Amino acid sequence: MRTFSDTVFEMQNYNSLFIYLLMYAAFLSPVTAQRNSLYGPTGLISIPTAEKVVEQEETLAAWYSFSSQDNHFGFSASLSVADTLEFSAFNDMGSSIRDGSSAILSLKYTPDSRFAAGYMHDMHKRHRDVLYGVFGKPEQGVYLGGGITLGNESLSVLGNYSATTRSVNRTFFMAGARIELSEIHPGLEGLMEFNGETTNFGLAFKPENFVQLQLDYFTRGDWLNEDKYVLSSNLKF
């Protein structure tokens, strides 16, 4: 039987690995990529970054999430509506957690390549909206940020869920990085992030300039009570 101490020890191992890899990524060669995060805005795995969709381009992502209890698919799209403004939309279908209306509409303001601020309007009845800001070093692909959850609902797609209060905390911290792996194989890169709740890892492959394939691993947390994987395909046109 899995005990509370086993869970705490596992989380400490994930967090130690994440901190080590984040420091390592800061000294690597430049990384440049634009792709939809899971919930819509351009970013890493689930967190937004200071990257943005290039003007007069759009990105479209389709993904499939699978675990031992909940398997479902969804899609997201992002487009540039101004030099510094990006709009994105997300929807998933068949999720046992986000039953009913599950769309998320987002706006992200990126005045330069090192900072972005955004608002995510979650239309699900049990999820809060999110207001966030993120700073980054795109030449190394390293990002740090935080956010505020808005509303009185108990859940949020970003942020730290408390098992004690059975509700998401009002504020949260997030961080992440890309790791260039082209020396192993052309077009290959690693991703890692902390989204306020879980530490996640991903492996992305970009065989062509307009398409990217990615497999992500989400660790369990207070709200996500099991590990899960997300396989996605990201198109740019």
Domain ranges within the chain, ordered by starting residue? 4-236
Residue-level pLDDT at 53: 87
As given in the structure block, the two tokens for residue 83 are: 């030099």
Residue 2: band (very low, low, confident or very high) from pLDDT cuts 50, 70, 90: very low
Residues 6 or more apart in contact with residue 100 via CB below 8 angstroms: 124, 125
Identify which has the larger pLDDT, 8 or 64: 64
* Model pTM above 0.75: yes
- Helix H or strand E encompassing 68: none
- Regarding the domain delimited by 4-236, which CATH topology (the fold level of the hierarchy) does it fall under? Porin (2.40.160)
Q: Please give the average per-residue pLDDT across 116-135, as a whole number.
A: 95
Identify which has the larger pLDDT, 163 or 211: 211
Residue-level pLDDT at 80: 92
Identify which has the larger pLDDT, 94 or 28: 94
Contact 219, 226 (CB under 8 A): no
Question: What is the tens place of the pLDDT at every residue in 165-222?
Answer: 889 999 999 999 988 888 898 889 999 999 998 899 999 998 877 788 999 999 887 7
Residue-level pLDDT at 209: 73
Question: What is the tens place of the pLDDT at every residue in 12-36?
Answer: 455 555 554 444 444 444 444 578 8
Contact 162, 154 (CB under 8 A): no
